[in-house]
Structure 1
Amino acid sequence: MNFLNSMNVSKERVVTGFSLIGFVLLIGFIDNFFMMWAFLGVVYLLAFKEAQKLFEVKNDSLLVIALGVWLMAGIYPYGDDLFVLAGVAYASAIAFNKELTWNNFFPFIYPTAGMLFIFTMYQEYGVISLLWLLAVVALTDVGAYAVGKSMGKTPFCETSPNKTMEGVVGGIVVATLGGMFVGLSIVDLSISFIISFMVATSSIFGDLFESSLKRSAGVKDSGDILPGHGGILDRIDGYLFGSIVMLVLLRGLV
């Protein structure tokens, strides 16, 4: 615990973190389509509710629509297309009813798009692609935290004052090199390097985006469902950006 104290990490955070990792790895090991769909669906709906709070959207019926979107994702072969269709449908509704505003659609962009891309990536490239995503984003977080705490001096940006340039670079380097070897089970070395680097970089900005939402909403965490970590969005923010980048690059480069 002396090491944890020196890094300013609480025991509660560590226990929750390892419990989450163990549960996610168990779901991945079982590798059952319905179980994965159900697990990601629960994560999505909890994250959607938190996003409503951050976007200050109080329409409870939107959660029912979000459930409908996820039910469709379970039977439609291209889940990421549902995000585009939802945009067309909502744009049509706004054109018809001037009382509607785009604010209500924001939760259907974030976190909906990222979660649909995660599920579609599982459908197209299997559970190993999710393990690759998990490794890259997790290593980015760990590398950035460790390097930032040990040698970080230069502020990265105003959105997240605790982030340092040294930590960001360290996190991307660690994640690119570590994630590259996981990706070799799907692509060759050069493609794995490129995708790992791009996903690591995008996950940094996924974290920044959620930080900007929390700052605008005046809250420290997106929720309190995860002891020591905050809300669901606090844990998956990097994955929501990283999954989109990874799936697009896999389709374009492989």
Structure 2
Amino acid sequence: MLLRIKIVVALAICFIGGGGAVAAEPVKIGMITTLSTKAGYLGEEIRDGFRLAIEQGGGKLGGIDVDLLVEDDGRKPERGKEIAERYIKSENVKIITGIVFSNVAMAVVPKVVRDGVFYISPNAGPSQLAGSGCHENYFNVAWQNDNLHEVTGEFVTDQGYSNVYLLAPNYPAGKDSLAGFKRYYKGNISGEVYTKLGQSDYAAELAALRAAKPDAVFFFLPGGMGINFLKQYSQAGLIAEIPVFGP
């Protein structure tokens, strides 16, 4: 993925710099990512990987000097919008990247690209930004949210599971994940539950899941949410009873 990011960023910088002409000043790249909350490690990895690419290029991308600005969105859409607006209006940023969560992406990306700024996604890929909703200034070097889970839906079907319980957070990527799974899963859905984004206690959901008596579970709970869910799933004794599938 790092190579793909370097290629796309380099192309965008060359376009901004006039087809490879040396820029008088470094091109500013604004990174909006999640560095706090229990999911902060995801943003740290994106930030550190991007910094590594710049370091490997001797401070340049596409042969042009770059200046990377980094701010924490706190997994809050409004915070992401505020940072993006300041980057564009006050810092003259021409490229924005870094968003982890799709609810933040949906709050930031549509306006950013309409304002003539490039957005390069290293993670979040809401389906709303693909197809007819795709903009010429939007590039995704990771994935479209629902595509990953289509594969799991087909795999679970092929393995013979006919009654699956679904669980995901109530935000764009969560909805995309279950939509993708259902697109290729051919069996019965015994339950479809959307949890609070950032939730850490799944006792109620696990009780409802057990009562539904599925023969398998599919979940999408990124970051610390997934860690907590799997720990509690195991502690409840469900891991030995009901197979669980995830991304």
What TM-score comes out, normalization by structure 2 length? Answer: 0.25
**Higher RCO by CA contacts (8 Å cutoff, separation 6 or greater):** 1
Q: Please state which structure has a larger fraction of its residues in strand.
A: 2
Q: Please state which structure has a larger fraction of its residues in helix.
A: 1
What TM-score comes out, normalization by structure 1 length? Answer: 0.25
